[in-house]
Amino acid sequence: MTSRRRWCAVLASCGLVLAACGGGADPVPGEVATEVRTPTGSQQVWCAGDGPAVLLLHGIGDDASSAQLVEVERALAGSARVCRYDRPGTGDSPAPEVPGRGADELDAELQAVVDHTAGGGPVVLVAHSFGGYLARVHADRHPDRVAGLVLVDALDPSVGLVTGTGASDLDDVEMAGEGLDLADVEQAARSVTALAPDLPLVVLVRGEGAGAAWTAGQERLAALSGRSRTVVVDGAGHQIPSEAPEAVAAAVRDVLGPAG
């Protein structure tokens, strides 16, 4: 059984990240694919539209090639420059060139894609599930480059990857072909207890299937900024980007303000 098929079987029961199991979607009109290289591996990046920069981050065991992020890109491409990317070892990106990548390597990879997306300017990060770990670390380390955050049913360290995925331990967490040092990534996310107090932040929360621990984690995410807003997406489960892409797009427009 392939890594993706094993992952799909696991996630069918626990529901944390299932979008990678689906097929691709029709491309967004005007979309351009680019390979962005870093010392730790190559990343496939897709961008469409013009305007404020928006970057979509996928979850663990998932990829940006899946239909859900394409639909968010499609919803925003008329008013923003929207990009999505596959981390090394996921989707259409080749295997990483460095084993055991941790928080520093992932942040450098993300920074390379931010530069491609926004040039030297700021970007709105839209992070689903495990992508929330990467977004909060990046916003903490590069506050001048992050104009806002949209956390889409994102994982909070108070829940953690083991509980969130239903794995027995971190070594058991399926991660496609990424080969990450998950303990290091999780510790880096846990160390970020607050972001810039005026950072625009929207927390999108599933309306179905969230337990008490997950709900408490979403409240902690909202507390990262003094300028946050929480939106419960009625009828949606964890896969908000595919189940309600317009809700994600609306949250991005809210963060962008009149320009969006």
Q: Region 205-218: what's the mean pLDDT?
A: 95
Q: What was the pLDDT predicted at 8? A: 41
pLDDT of residue 11: 41
- 21-47 mean pLDDT: 88
Model pLDDT for residues 177-192, shown as the tens digit of each residue: 999 999 999 999 999 9
Looking at residue 2, its pLDDT comes to 29
**pTM for this prediction:** 0.90
What does the pLDDT average to over 199-204? 98
Report the 3 state secondary structure along the chain.
CCHHHHHHHHHHHHCCCCHHHCCCCCCCCCCEEEEEEECCEEEEEEEECCCCEEEEECCCCCCCCCHHHHHHHHHHCCCCEEEEEECCCCCCCCCCCCCCECHHHHHHHHHHHHHHHHCCCCEEEEEECCHHHHHHHHHHHCCCCEEEEEEECCCCCCCHHHHHHCCCCHHHCCCCCCCECHHHHHHHHHHCCCCCCCCCEEEEEECCCCCHHHHHHHHHHHCCCCCEEEEEECCCCCCHHHHCHHHHHHHHHHHHHHHC
Instruction: Tokens for 117, please give them.
Output: 């997306």
What confidence score (pLDDT) does residue 16 get? 53
Asked whether the predicted pLDDT for residue 62 surpasses 60, the reply is yes
Higher-pLDDT residue of 20 and 63 is: 63
**What pLDDT was estimated at residue 174?**
87
Tokens found for residue 228: 């946050």
pLDDT band at 3 (very low <50, low <70, confident <90, very high): very low
Domain total of the chain: 1
Band of the pLDDT at 27, cuts 50, 70, 90? Answer: confident
Q: Check pLDDT > 50 for residue 155.
A: yes
The residue length of the chain stands at 260
Q: What is the mean pLDDT of the chain?
A: 90
**Residue 110 CB contacts under 8 Å (≥ 6 apart), including other chains:** 57, 134, 138
Average pLDDT over residues 6-11: 39
Beta-carbon neighbour count of residue 246 at 10 Å? 12
User: Residue 218: which domain range?
Assistant: 3-259
Crossing angle for the helix pair 67-76 and 245-256, nearest 10 degrees?
40
Whether 7 has a pLDDT exceeding 90, the answer reads no
User: For residue 66, what pLDDT band results from cuts at 50, 70 and 90?
Assistant: low
Note the pLDDT tens digit of each residue in 102-138. 999 999 999 999 999 999 999 999 999 999 999 999 9
CA distances from 64 to 25, 44, 69, 70, 120 (A): 11, 9, 6, 8, 23
What is the CATH classification number for the domain harbouring 90? 3.40.50.1820
